[in-house]
Amino acid sequence: MEWLIVIAEFLVNEILSVPAFLIGIIVAVGLIALRRSVGQVIGGAVKATLGFLLIGAGADLVVASLDPLGVMIQGATGAQGVIPTNEAIVGIAQEQFGAQVAWLMILGFALSLVLARFTPLSYVFLTGHHILFMATLLTIVLATAGYSGSVTVLVGGALLAILMVSLPAFSQPWTRRITGDDSIAMGHFGTAGYVAAGAVGRMTGGRRSRSTEDLKLPEGLRFLRDSMVATALSMVLMYVVISLIFFAREGEAAYEAFEGGASDPGNFVMQSVTQGLQFGIAVAVILFGVRTILGEIVPAFQGIAAKIVPGATPALDAPIVFPYAQNAVLIGFITSFSGGLVGLAVLSLWLNPALGLALILPGLVPHFFTGGAAGVYGNATGGRIGAAAGGFVNGLLITFLPAVLLLVLGDFGTANTTFGDTDFGWFGVLIGYGAGLGSVGGLIVVGLLGALILASAILVQLRVVRGGWDPSPHREFPTPAGEEGEPADGAQSSAPAGTAGSYPKIMPPSGAPTPPPPPQP
């Protein structure tokens, strides 16, 4: 049996948990189903893989540029606590539960395809690393509640499959508000934050709050219309301000924030400037990777829809929405981080003394990716005000939810790190407390929770998604403005949506390909 465990761990750790390989395989299958030539299959699969590798390279650059800033913020504020990092907690758990996580992930992915094939929830969740994260969370929670390895794998696999097809349905009306059609869906376990951002954006933005992409700048500031320039300059400003505060507090000890240290105050400041500029480069790489993957994954899914999962919609990682509102990404990041600081203050002044909840420090990486996406969702329903409000609410959620989640992680609750995104928080808490009721009663409660989520998602898919519900009918679709105020390349003027299928094609700027209409179930 040991060889089966080795094979399972290889499939999970080396293929299914690597989004680039998973996407390449899916694209190849789709193109084969379309009866494309061998050259087209190989070319499409490789290009899709390269697109996701570009996203990964950009994400690594983001992490590298944010690490010193996180050190300086912690040093400047003096805050001590838990920093939510999905990769860290997964790495710790792998040592104890590696085999269970592997089998749970494989079972969950297989069951999700079955659900996508035989229910109205025709979403194929392709964010491999997030599947691994959720599989690890479910393993920790169920094992901590005292369930055996086989029960953990079977129950956890079913729950994972339900989430993989259900959460994209809950967010699809809001995602369609961004993309203009149903060709892609959100496949990221920060869905609760994105839906909350869209809802808050609708309530706060109103009809008159203009899109973040429709900025009117003076002639001397026209260069800020370039999102890469605006992002880089904003991060340079943030870096320099924080570095000066840190240096004033710590003196030359602040030099250690950078790898290799700094030689003098001038070098310290200029390294801060360089890191801010590298952040702008990182975002540009991510956006290019997204546009590359869109050009391959959507056509390939026509084949998958026709042959394997009729009506399939690819559910992709959070940065997939970044090109649709690039200014909103920056606004969402900044306001999400601000929400994290406010949440930290609430925890330290009230919830920690009263309830013993851990202090959750705002990690810049989750605030950038989930906050940036939340800004895009908020902008789609509420313009600039909605983007700011949506990002702020997301920041609060990814501060409070991880604090409560620590209570159901058993020994892992003292690991000084935890899962960061919203869906890990609310779902982990529900399953943790439900499973903790006892062997039989806990399974009944957990089963009912899974059935309730699945049934709710099917109802939303049939009544809301297919019914063409528009979460923000009082607003026109956000149209990125060009240099002279006209729609940017690839965007079209838009009007409020009518029935399902009537949504205008609002494509990302800078020449991203227009996806074909989604196949009808």
CA separation for the pair 197, 383 (Å, rounded)? 11
CB atoms within 10 A of CB 166: 25
**Residues forming a β-bridge with 138:** none
Residue 483 has pLDDT above 70, yes or no: no
User: Considering the entire predicted model, what is its pTM?
Assistant: 0.76
Residue 341 exposure: Cα atoms within 13 Å on the Cβ side: 13
CA separation for the pair 178, 373 (Å, rounded)? 11
The angle formed by the CA atoms of residues 456, 301 and 378, to the nearest 5 degrees, is: 50
67 within domain boundaries: yes
24 sits in which H/E element:
helix 19-33
Dihedral of CA atoms 474, 477, 479, 485 in degrees, nearest 10, equals -30
pLDDT in tens, 445-477: 999 999 999 999 999 999 999 999 999 887 765
Residue 521 has pLDDT above 70, yes or no: no
More confident residue, 281 or 290: 281
**Strand duo 123-125 + 313-316: pairing:** parallel
Residue 442 exposure: Cα atoms within 13 Å on the Cβ side: 21
* Six token digits for residue 60: 């690594």
433 within domain boundaries: yes
Q: How is the chain split among helix, strand and coil, in percent rounded to 5?
A: 70, 0, 25
370 within domain boundaries: yes
Residue 184 has pLDDT above 70, yes or no: yes
Q: For tokens 């909103």, name the residue.
A: 328
SS (H, E, C) 104-162: HHHHHHHHHHHHHHHCCCCEEECCHHHHHHHHHHHHHHHHHCCCCHHHHHHHHHHHHHH
479 within domain boundaries: no
Residue 392 has a pLDDT of 98
CA separation for the pair 67, 275 (Å, rounded)? 10
CA separation for the pair 443, 296 (Å, rounded)? 42
- Cβ–Cβ < 8 Å for 422, 193: yes
CA separation for the pair 235, 258 (Å, rounded)? 16
- The contacts of residue 146 (CB under 8 Å, 6+ apart) are 439
* Six token digits for residue 205: 């933005």
Burial (CB count <10 Å: 0-12, 13-18, 19+), residue 357: buried
Residue 365 has a pLDDT of 79
11 within domain boundaries: yes
Taking all residues of the chain, what is their mean pLDDT, rounded to a whole number?
Answer: 81
Residue 484 has a pLDDT of 34
Query: Which residue type, as a one-letter code, is found at position 138?
Result: L
DSSP 313-352: EEEE-GGGGGGG-HHHHHHHHHHHHHHHHHHHHHIIIIIH
Residue 279 has a pLDDT of 80
More confident residue, 138 or 90: 138
More confident residue, 96 or 423: 423
500 within domain boundaries: no
Question: If you average pLDDT over residues 489-517, what whole number do you get?
Answer: 35
pLDDT in tens, 146-181: 898 899 999 999 999 999 999 999 999 999 999 988
Q: Which of 59-68, 124-133, 389-398, 466-475 has the weakest average pLDDT? A: 59-68
Question: If you average pLDDT over residues 404-427, what whole number do you get?
Answer: 87
DSSP 368-386: HHHHHHHHHHHHHHHHHHH
- Cβ–Cβ < 8 Å for 434, 445: yes
Q: Which of 6-10, 136-140, 234-238, 479-483 has the largest mean confidence?
A: 136-140
Residue 503 has pLDDT above 50, yes or no: no
Residue 245 has pLDDT above 80, yes or no: yes
Structural domain tally of the chain?
Answer: 1
* Six token digits for residue 55: 């996203």
Residue 504 has a pLDDT of 32
248 within domain boundaries: yes
pLDDT in tens, 321-357: 998 998 899 899 989 999 999 999 999 889 888 888 8
Query: Could you list the residue range(s) of the whole structural domain that residue 432 is in?
Result: 2-465
Residue 501 has a pLDDT of 33
Q: Which of 17-21, 238-242, 303-307 has the largest mean confidence?
A: 238-242
363 within domain boundaries: yes
CB atoms within 10 A of CB 505: 16
